[in-house]
Structure 1
Amino acid sequence: MSDDTRAPPDLAAIWREFAGAPGARRPDFRFDPDFYGHRYADVAGEPDPAARARHFADVGEAEGRNPTLYRETAGDFPHLDEVVAYLVRDPRLKAAIAGGVPGAAELTFELMALGDPVDRQVADFSVQHYRTVSPDLATAPDIALFLHYVKFGHREGRPVLARLRRNVTEGARAFDPARRTVIVATHEFSATGAPMVALDLARRAADTFNVVVLGLRRASGELVERFAEVAVAVAVTERPFEEWAYLDPGPLDHADFAVLNSVECFPLVKALVAREVPFVSYVHEFTNYTLPAYKCVVTALYAERVLFSSETVRRSWAGVLADAGFDVDRDSAIVPQDVLVPAAVPEDEYRAARSRLEGLIGTAIGDRRVVYGAGQVHWRKGTDIFAMLAAGARRTDPDTIFVWIGDGLDHEDFHVGVWVEKHLADGGVNDPAGNLFFLPAGPYYRDVCRAADVLFLSSRLDPLPNVVFDAARFGCGVVLFAGASGFDDARYLAEPIMWRVPFGDLAAAAGTIAAIPVKTLKDGAFAVRPDAAPEGTAGAASGDMSGTPSGRAAGAAPEAAAVFDRIVGDLEARLAASAPPAGDGAYDVGILYGPSDPPGLRARERRTVWRHGRRAVWQSRAEAEGAVAASGNWVHRTLRIAPYREMLPAGLPPYRIHVHAYYTDAFAGDLSRHAAYRHAERVVATTDTEEKADGLEAAGRAAGVAVEARLVPNRGRDVLPFLALFDGGGDGTGDDNDIWCHVHLKRSVGLGPTSPGEVWRAFLMRILLGGPERLSSALALVRRPEIGLVTAFDPYILGWTGSRRLLAALQARMDRGDGERWDGAPADGGPAGMDRTLPDHPLLFPMGNMFWAKTGTVRAMKRLFGPDYPWPGEPLPGDGTVFHLIERLWPAAAALSGRDSVFLDKPDEPRV
């Protein structure tokens, strides 16, 4: 018999407590007069709720009618009570459901069905939250959303408030209102490099601040409890902007500033800017593998300061920072997360570690050289390179042993594991008679460090891996590739334990390793360079490859304290020196926030960017004109901005329109929306199939427009089909002053007219072609002899982005005069040999690659690349190809042909 004699809760009283005004019309949760009247037509005309209740008691119950939504749903869905039990939050209702109290599940369900805010008070469910995290259901009524989750969403594993709240861990520290509050963000909670740095920052911050830790995902979750030891709270959400408001009110809303440790924390930026919480980003990642690239762009635009762990990492960000107009000297700094401290291993620890390593790998070591690599098995870490080096050393250095320690070797992983397994197997891995051994990460990591002589950092790109700091503390030498990690910085290479070899040069790496001495004994301790090792033993390892607390568990390391103090000091100085811009600008567009977000948020994010003096959106046409005028670059001197106007078709010069139509479904609508098609001398449409070509010509006949459809390969996006029109013997035989308009239908089938891409295209088409009766003034401008290009002025500011990687090769072609020589006079009348250096930022170009151009401009573009340029084929990445580069080069092509470029400004045309 149970000893629990507590009386069951008064369910009717709980209903009255939460139901409020609805309770006056509906005193009993077991009967809903509105539901009953809506479901059954014979009582729908009876307005009195009491009369409806009597009808149910007298007639409906006997007929099996449902008195509530709960009863109806339970009849169709037998697992309803299980879902309710999962969601219930109110402790009285939770206990009642667990104890099998009749009606408890029904009461909870009916309370949740009341919607906001009752649902989130009694349960871990909010209909508004569910709408936010389920955008495919955004237009559904509240009650339909609630029923969707009960019947389908729970089974589908859709996120609800329950998941969010169960990912909040109460911290060991109490919130102190007298202290400032800092958010320390980590992208995950695994015991790996960046999260360990975040943990050290949180520990130091806890000395003087309330610390709230925000993470995007738990991953292994190893560090959650360790963060909680120094925090007020630890919260995990992949949707910080959407879910911030649904976290229970608390310290998070008191945040004074934030530290985003890792660029992977970029989703938090949207939430922080919305709440005007300033933040510093501490970046450890190279841009090469930080994809999509907008992660880096968002970081560069909105952070008060960006701190980099090494100069090598900051160099990889140079293009992103230049595109954003980021002041590198003012707003960035190099702040390593640790200090390289060469030390030595006490003799007894060294000998014990060598003995244990012998047992782990099953072979005698003796005085042989031991080379190790460490980290997750991955191409970035160069695990395959390590294996290849060991294979070569079997011939050149047979006495050396190679040991890799790390997790992630999955022989069923097609992307990495299958191929690394091949390397290891062919290298005779874990053969006692061989030289290559693999150990999964475990508690013996420090024994490997103590026993080894050399760490070979085989990484292709690795910011500042903690294993190098560990290697130094344990008296090892380190061999690394040039330009492959932050340890290629001068501050580290000056250490005598560091050896650098050319990138990917295995022969140089093997020769260097063979020349490094094994650890030798001096003053009771072993080290590769005992003359460089200070007295005493090796420090605690900063890495933690065992899942057990590292040597730092007692508190933040001194270097971490210095990092956090530096962050706070720099942030305060930056905030004190910045001044807010005046006004919200002429263009209501955003980057973080879209049309469905409040306009105030878009204005707030623009002001944040402008306060930093960075580039994302032009504040006005005048600002753009000032930026162009301030540049002395030869391309920028040919750029002009003019207001958009419309004109009647009378007196037009002959012109041609080229439309590339890989997608054809919008073409018929374009013909009716833009009179320019009807007045064109020719309309040439390129596409890739006979069926599409027939459809384009048929659409032209229906609109009274003669369309010349041409078949082209699906190659080169819309750029190559347009340039191909000007090949020898084709349309390019005309005069340099012939006028062409180039547009395209880059629309994914199925997207509606309000999709962002289609709205942008409509913006461009209206400015370039005008409307159904009048034409754009672009045509009047491009006919002028001094104009070679006319396009839309876009309120967004876009740099070279990924195509910057191609600039050096293009500049070399220009400097050498590859292809045909320039035969047009320089735009400024200068000498033929004038400087043709491309600008560091394009400032203005035809975004979307749609424009009016003279044939001379197109020919200049073709000469830039020459007749035999090796154009890449499909499929193509989303940015960084030569075709993205060409989009940015049209003003340069116009300038090379001796003509100017004009950008038409139409502020009232919706851009998003």
Structure 2
Amino acid sequence: MSLNTLKSIARRLRSAYYILRSGTSEPMVDKSNYDWDFYLHQNPDVAASGVDPREHYFQFGRKEGRIAVIPEAGAEGSAEEGSTNYDWDFYLQQYPDVAAAGVDPLKHYFQFGRDEGRIAVLPTLDFIGSPETDFDPARETVLVVSHEASRTGAPILSLNLVRILSKRYNVVALLLGGGALVEAFHEAGAVVAGPCELRHHPIATKLILDKLFARCRFKFALVNSIESRFVLSSLARHFIPSISLLHEFASYTRPRDAFRQALFWSTASVFSARLTLQSALDEYPDLDEKIAHILPQGRCELPFASLDEKSRNAETKRLLDALRPASAPVDTFLVIGAGSVQLRKGVDHFIECASRVLRANPARNFRFVWIGKGFDPDIDVGYSVYLADQIQRAGIERHITFLDDTSELDIVYQQADVLLMTSRLDPLPNVSIDALCEGLPVVCFESTTGIADILAEEDLADACVAGYLDTADMADKLLKLSSDTQLYEDVVSRSLAMAARRFDMDAYVEHLDQLACTLVDRARQEAEDVAEIANANVLRPDFVCSPDRLDQLPDEVLRGYVRAWACGVNQRKPFPGFHPGIYQEQHEPLRVDPLADFIRKGRPQGPWLVPVITPEGGGEKFTSRVKVALHLHVFHPKLLSDLLSRLKHNTVLPDLFISVPSDDLREEVSLQLTGYAGRVVEVLTVPGSGQEIGATLSALGRKMSQGYDIIGHVHTRKLTELEDHSEDEAGYSFLLENLLGGKSGAMADRIISRMQADSTIGMVFPDDPNVMGWGDSRSIAENWAQRLNVESLPEYMVFPVGAMFWARSERLAPLWDLDLQWHYDSSQFEDNVALQAIERLLVLSIACPSSRCAVTNIFGITR
């Protein structure tokens, strides 16, 4: 018997019991008039009391104005009755899947949405203080966004930003989460908006911020931490310049697109260390470095802990007893570590280093103390239990201890001799800045923290920076500091001087303020560029948008396009035949959007525009006077049939030159070719798996050039790639549809007839809407470019992505002359870097005053 059946029986029994007991003349109500589940959901006090819900409703609930059934959508008065608990319009806006399903939003919420954690009413953005009454009308207003208000690194930095900015601006502190410092933000001089959870509700975030931006006119916004990125798109839509303060590593931030979204929507990004910027560039090499800045934060003032004198004295005693207990010798060298007990902080390295030091100099008195929450071997079986075991097996229990977090870190710095930073990755932790400002030497690993770079720049690396995760080297540096008094005092003196220069919070905020002021004009220009492009109505949504974003509204498409060209992330072309990057490069320095500038200047001709061949329109007829060859490189025979079927859409029957990666496949491929109506000239084995273009330019190149006017090159993908990567499959279909045809008709015929009619067209390939640079292939390309007499490599160009194209054979002659012999050496193509270089050099090799490229485009087919 199902649960619903049992519920139904129980309800009937309750109703019968009620009628028999009370003798009421109230008629039995069916599901349309009374819903037990809804009544209990709607009235948790009734559910908690355990009374019969129907009895409660008829005795009390009706008189109190409670409702006992989900109102029908659009029913008179229903919206008002439930307005405090749910909002129909908001629910549909917030959850497009519900709107698309066409179901009643209220029923959906009570039956499914509430249990799924959906919200049914726009969250309220509460304020501490009021912009209307608290702000000086003569001052400009700025926004500081903090992901929470806890007593941790990023929120404490946000609090210090507010403290200093409030001296010259009206400041709104938007808190996306709560914590102990909420009131402290107000006391520091800000009107506090929040805490309000916006991080998981994008539509709600947009609506709430729209209200905030209507209430306050912001000069700029400082958005602190990657965890605050959720507000950036709304700031960009309102053209409020924003600076993202990024302290995290892109390599370990999840979800993986978090950094891309932050970089995309920020007007500028400030990284706390070169190490964190490099991590972002490694993950997103297309990032425009002009919008990225490196600026180490200053030393934060810690908010005063609300401890009474008795509690503070108790905390001081706890710390002193743990740091330097009475039993410890006076000359004990105290080494501290700090941070939450987690793998990233490298607590295991701290223990290993301690063990090495104690073994190396057992006569010296050392004590190691780790300060931070999370060490609990009884509960934490993922990390703490192994740390405890490590300590026991090393036999250093008497020399190492763990302390919980403390608000009295000044006492710790005063008692310690060295801060040991053993993190695997730690951008620029406040504890290291504080320690240096107190004159405490900081010893760390290279390539793990921005502090290592700063110490190296100050010539302190020999004393304080160990090799990457090299605990033996780190232990050696500790031993030298503990035994060489002169060295120790020198490091202390230089650390103090360096910290005073580098970690001044007022100077840090001044730098941010100056940068933000330069962004105001940039945001204003971006608004003008958006308006210019919107008025021209030139964007092709099916071309600008990636396949997964085709449902975007026109204003979202436009805003995303301009943002991409402003930040260098996710750049795409606006319509076929135009490359904004080439236009920008030819008009440097260009401080406006290249498409907007192109439109303002009357759409001038230049290398940024190339002819476009489409399936639509008339087009010249193909004639047999032109001799055509096509090279097919077949990775897998099962995919050959698709190529051959696409060729059947065309009149042209090119002579086929086939290459396969192994002798085993030659026979199978040859069998499939027996049905081809044209001529199969050769089936050649080319060892290796990555040489589809290599076979064209070496083994078969000169053969195809003899007697042929136009040569084509296409290939199949590996079958495993098709099965594992849907994007590869879509991209491959995009290329074949553009070069051979299919649903689009006879594209090969159109291409060859256009080349026959226009002798200036030397090569034709699909116009890929994505903008791609050289990447790692530049160094290889520069070497080959010299042999091709190409003087310089432009940053941007149109080129045949995937190295699939149609070309005049005489235009490819310079590539034959390279005599690369790639089919004999497959190692050059293991990482595809050489192939990427050749894709781009194909276009440069045919460049001359009498030759140009053309591209193909099929409406609605993109990648």
* TM-score scaled by length of structure 2: 0.68
Q: Against the structure 1 CA distance between its residues 573 and 604, is the aligned structure 2 distance closer, same or farther, given a 3 Å change threshold?
A: closer
- Note if contact 1:312-1:485 (Cα within 8 Å) is conserved in structure 2: yes
Q: Distance in 2 between matches of 1:291 and 1:859?
A: 48
Q: Distance in 1 between matches of 2:320 and 2:377?
A: 30
1:742 counterpart = 2:742:
no
Q: Distance in 2 between matches of 1:64 and 1:750?
A: 56
Match of 1:643 among 612, 616, 619: 612
Match of 1:309 among 268, 272, 276: 272
- Note if contact 1:87-1:124 (Cα within 8 Å) is conserved in structure 2: no
Deviation, 1:395, is 2.0
Q: Distance in 1 between matches of 2:674 and 2:437?
A: 79
Match of 1:772 among 735, 745, 755: 745
Deviation, 1:468, is 0.8
Q: Against the structure 1 CA distance between its residues 529 and 668, is the aligned structure 2 distance closer, same or farther, given a 3 Å change threshold?
A: closer
- Note if contact 1:124-1:161 (Cα within 8 Å) is conserved in structure 2: yes
Q: Distance in 1 between matches of 2:88 and 2:643?
A: 39
Q: Against the structure 1 CA distance between its residues 64 and 515, is the aligned structure 2 distance closer, same or farther, given a 3 Å change threshold?
A: closer
Give the letter for the 1:569 counterpart. C
1:388 counterpart = 2:352:
yes
Match of 1:500 in 2: 465
Match of 2:630 among 655, 660, 667: 655
Q: Distance in 2 between matches of 1:862 and 1:99?
A: 91
- Note if contact 2:143-2:172 (Cα within 8 Å) is conserved in structure 1: yes
Q: Distance in 2 between matches of 1:377 and 1:687?
A: 52
1:461 counterpart = 2:432:
no
Match of 2:528 in 1: 580
Match of 1:238 in 2: 199
Within 5 Å, give how 1:657-696 maps onto structure 2.
Answer: 657=632, 671=645, 675=649, 679=653
- Note if contact 1:471-1:478 (Cα within 8 Å) is conserved in structure 2: yes
Match of 1:869 among 807, 821, 827: 827
Q: Against the structure 1 CA distance between its residues 395 and 732, is the aligned structure 2 distance closer, same or farther, given a 3 Å change threshold?
A: farther
Q: Distance in 1 between matches of 2:642 and 2:173?
A: 54
Within 5 Å, give how 1:106-121 maps onto structure 2.
Answer: 106=67, 109-110=70-71, 114=75, 118=79
Match of 2:771 in 1: 797
Match of 1:875 in 2: none
**Runs of at least 5 residues in structure 2 that lack an aligned partner in the other structure:** 1-25, 47-55, 302-312, 589-605
Match of 1:12 in 2: none
Match of 1:152 in 2: 112
- Note if contact 1:743-1:850 (Cα within 8 Å) is conserved in structure 2: no
Give the match's secondary structure for 2:151. coil
Q: Distance in 1 between matches of 2:478 and 2:99?
A: 61
Give the letter for the 1:84 counterpart. Q
Give the match's secondary structure for 2:297. coil
Q: Distance in 2 between matches of 1:324 and 1:485?
A: 22
Q: Distance in 1 between matches of 2:300 and 2:466?
A: 19
Q: Deviations over 1:458-514 (max 9, x none)?
A: 233322110112212443111123343222445885397983334333333222222
- Note if contact 2:829-2:835 (Cα within 8 Å) is conserved in structure 1: no
Match of 1:486 in 2: 450
- Note if contact 2:246-2:269 (Cα within 8 Å) is conserved in structure 1: yes
Match of 2:222 in 1: 259
Q: Distance in 2 between matches of 1:888 and 1:85?
A: 67
Give the letter for the 1:153 counterpart. G
Give the letter for the 1:428 counterpart. Q
Deviation, 1:617, is 3.4
- Note if contact 2:436-2:496 (Cα within 8 Å) is conserved in structure 1: no
Q: Against the structure 1 CA distance between its residues 357 and 909, is the aligned structure 2 distance closer, same or farther, given a 3 Å change threshold?
A: same
1:892 counterpart = 2:841:
yes
1:191 counterpart = 2:143:
no
Deviation, 1:169, is 4.2
Q: Distance in 1 between matches of 2:524 and 2:457?
A: 37
Give the letter for the 1:439 counterpart. L
- Note if contact 1:310-1:334 (Cα within 8 Å) is conserved in structure 2: yes
- Note if contact 1:353-1:448 (Cα within 8 Å) is conserved in structure 2: no
Deviation, 1:891, is 1.4
CA RMSD of aligned residues (A): 5.9
Q: Deviations over 1:607-627 (max 9, x none)?
A: 455567998234561645545
- Note if contact 1:370-1:452 (Cα within 8 Å) is conserved in structure 2: yes
Give the match's secondary structure for 2:113. helix
Q: Deviations over 1:622-652 (max 9, x none)?
A: 6455457679xxxxx9999432245656536
Give the match's secondary structure for 2:715. strand
Q: Distance in 1 between matches of 2:349 and 2:796?
A: 39
Match of 1:84 in 2: 42
Give the match's secondary structure for 2:551. coil
Q: Distance in 2 between matches of 1:248 and 1:293?
A: 25
Match of 2:549 in 1: 594
Match of 1:369 in 2: 333
Q: Against the structure 1 CA distance between its residues 222 and 886, is the aligned structure 2 distance closer, same or farther, given a 3 Å change threshold?
A: farther
Residue identity over aligned pairs, in percent, reads 20
Q: Against the structure 1 CA distance between its residues 774 and 495, is the aligned structure 2 distance closer, same or farther, given a 3 Å change threshold?
A: closer
Match of 2:101 in 1: 140
Within 5 Å, give how 1:443-454 maps onto structure 2.
Answer: 443=407, 445-454=409-418
Give the letter for the 1:335 counterpart. L
Q: Deviations over 1:365-403 (max 9, x none)?
A: 542212222223444433333233223223223443333
- Note if contact 1:697-1:706 (Cα within 8 Å) is conserved in structure 2: no
Q: Distance in 2 between matches of 1:473 and 1:672?
A: 70
Give the match's secondary structure for 1:468. helix
Give the letter for the 1:654 counterpart. A
Q: Distance in 2 between matches of 1:355 and 1:300?
A: 45
Q: Distance in 1 between matches of 2:586 and 2:506?
A: 49
- Note if contact 1:386-1:458 (Cα within 8 Å) is conserved in structure 2: yes
- Note if contact 2:439-2:493 (Cα within 8 Å) is conserved in structure 1: no
Deviation, 1:122, is 0.7
Q: Distance in 1 between matches of 2:58 and 2:826?
A: 76
Q: Distance in 1 between matches of 2:793 and 2:584?
A: 16
Q: Against the structure 1 CA distance between its residues 578 and 627, is the aligned structure 2 distance closer, same or farther, given a 3 Å change threshold?
A: closer
- Note if contact 1:213-1:227 (Cα within 8 Å) is conserved in structure 2: yes
Match of 2:857 in 1: 906
Q: Against the structure 1 CA distance between its residues 624 and 210, is the aligned structure 2 distance closer, same or farther, given a 3 Å change threshold?
A: closer
Q: Against the structure 1 CA distance between its residues 506 and 140, is the aligned structure 2 distance closer, same or farther, given a 3 Å change threshold?
A: same
Match of 2:128 in 1: 171
Q: Distance in 2 between matches of 1:480 and 1:115?
A: 69
- Note if contact 2:764-2:856 (Cα within 8 Å) is conserved in structure 1: no
Q: Distance in 1 between matches of 2:797 and 2:336?
A: 49
**In terms of mean alpha carbon deviation, does 842-851 or 231-240 score higher?**
842-851
Give the match's secondary structure for 2:349. helix
- Note if contact 1:768-1:776 (Cα within 8 Å) is conserved in structure 2: no
Match of 2:242 in 1: 279
Match of 2:392 in 1: 428
Q: Against the structure 1 CA distance between its residues 726 and 769, is the aligned structure 2 distance closer, same or farther, given a 3 Å change threshold?
A: closer
**Runs of at least 5 residues in structure 1 that lack an aligned partner in the other structure:** 1-60, 89-94, 342-347, 543-555, 632-636, 873-881
Tell me the number of residue pairs that the alignment of Structure 1 and Structure 2 aligns.
753
Q: Distance in 2 between matches of 1:580 and 1:106?
A: 52
Q: Against the structure 1 CA distance between its residues 232 and 264, is the aligned structure 2 distance closer, same or farther, given a 3 Å change threshold?
A: closer
Q: Distance in 1 between matches of 2:772 and 2:569?
A: 12
Give the letter for the 1:580 counterpart. E
Match of 1:47 in 2: none
Deviation, 1:333, is 4.3
Q: Distance in 2 between matches of 1:534 and 1:294?
A: 39
Give the match's secondary structure for 2:552. coil
Deviation, 1:105, is 4.0
Give the letter for the 2:224 counterpart. N
Q: Distance in 2 between matches of 1:742 and 1:139?
A: 41
Q: Deviations over 1:844-902 (max 9, x none)?
A: 44457765588997998987898363987xxxxxxxxx348844652136757999994
- Note if contact 1:378-1:408 (Cα within 8 Å) is conserved in structure 2: yes
Give the letter for the 1:160 counterpart. I
Q: Against the structure 1 CA distance between its residues 433 and 187, is the aligned structure 2 distance closer, same or farther, given a 3 Å change threshold?
A: closer
Q: Distance in 2 between matches of 1:228 and 1:565?
A: 21
- Note if contact 2:316-2:408 (Cα within 8 Å) is conserved in structure 1: no
